Amino acid sequence: MSELQIIGFPQSTYVRVVRMAAEEKGVPYELVPEPPHSDAVNAVHPFGKIPVMRHGDVNLCESRAIAGYIDRNFDGPVLFPKDLAAEIDQWVSIVNTVIDPTLIRGYLFCYLFPKGANGEPDRAAIDALLPDINVLPMLFYLQNTP
């Protein structure tokens, strides 16, 4: 079978997740740097998001699906133990739907890509995120409370 290709910007959090899965399993791969919505990405992902993966006749999108494919189809340490599958899927979903949009794409991006006056971070946008950010520690507390 041909070499695994991981397609997407190396700086992307989700591309990094897939690359870490391959590294942990000891799977050689080719990183193909492509931005979201490029022709190579659009050919695999219906919404043009990264990462996408090609491996022989298999084309996949979405980091959780790609990491799961790598785990199931290559030798090496188990990345997703079956007895923890529900908990893993739960936390992947929380990261994808709450933590990443709030902390990364919301809060952090306000500083990395400031859109305020004179290129300063938009304080109003940051302040609007604070209530959601303050709730995040509660997720961890609830998860670890008997």
**Residue 125: pLDDT band by 50, 70, 90 thresholds?**
confident
Mean residue pLDDT of the chain comes to: 88
Average pLDDT over residues 13-41: 97
Structure confidence at residue 142 (pLDDT): 63
Specify whether 47 is located in the same domain as 93. no
Same-domain pairing of 68 and 90: no
Report pTM: 0.75
- For residues 8 and 69, membership in a common domain is answered with yes
Does 60 lie in the same domain as 18?
yes
Domain boundary among 13, 41, 73: 73
- Quick: pLDDT tens for 30-73: 999 999 999 999 999 999 999 999 999 999 999 999 999 999 99
The CA distances from residue 33 to 29, 40, 78, 112, 124, in Å, are: 12, 10, 27, 21, 34
Check whether residue 90 and residue 58 sit in a common domain: no
In sequence order, the β-bridge partners of residue 58 are: 55
Q: Are residues 69 and 44 in the same domain?
A: yes
Same domain, 17 and 69: yes
pLDDT given at position 145? 61
Task: Give the domain CATH number at 26.
Answer: 3.40.30.10
Q: How many domains does the chain have?
A: 2
**What pLDDT score was predicted for residue 110?**
83
Q: 59-63 contacts: CB < 8 A, separation 24 or more?
A: 63/14, 63/15, 63/17, 63/18
Residues 101 and 135 placed together within one structural domain of the fold:
yes
pLDDT of residue 138: 67
- The reply to whether 93 and 64 lie within a common domain is no
By the 10 Å C-beta count (0-12 exposed, 13-18 middle, 19+ buried), 101 is classed as middle
Amino acid (one-letter) located at 117: A
Of residues 27 and 87, the one with the higher pLDDT is 27
Residue 17 pLDDT greater than 90, yes or no: yes
pLDDT at 144: 64
Mean pLDDT value across residues 100-118: 83
Print the domain residue range for 16: 4-73
Residues 63 and 91 grouped into a single domain: no
CA distance linking residue 122 with residue 81, whole number of Å = 42
Confidence of residue 141 (pLDDT cuts 50, 70, 90): low
Give the containing element (helix H, strand E) for 94. helix 85-94
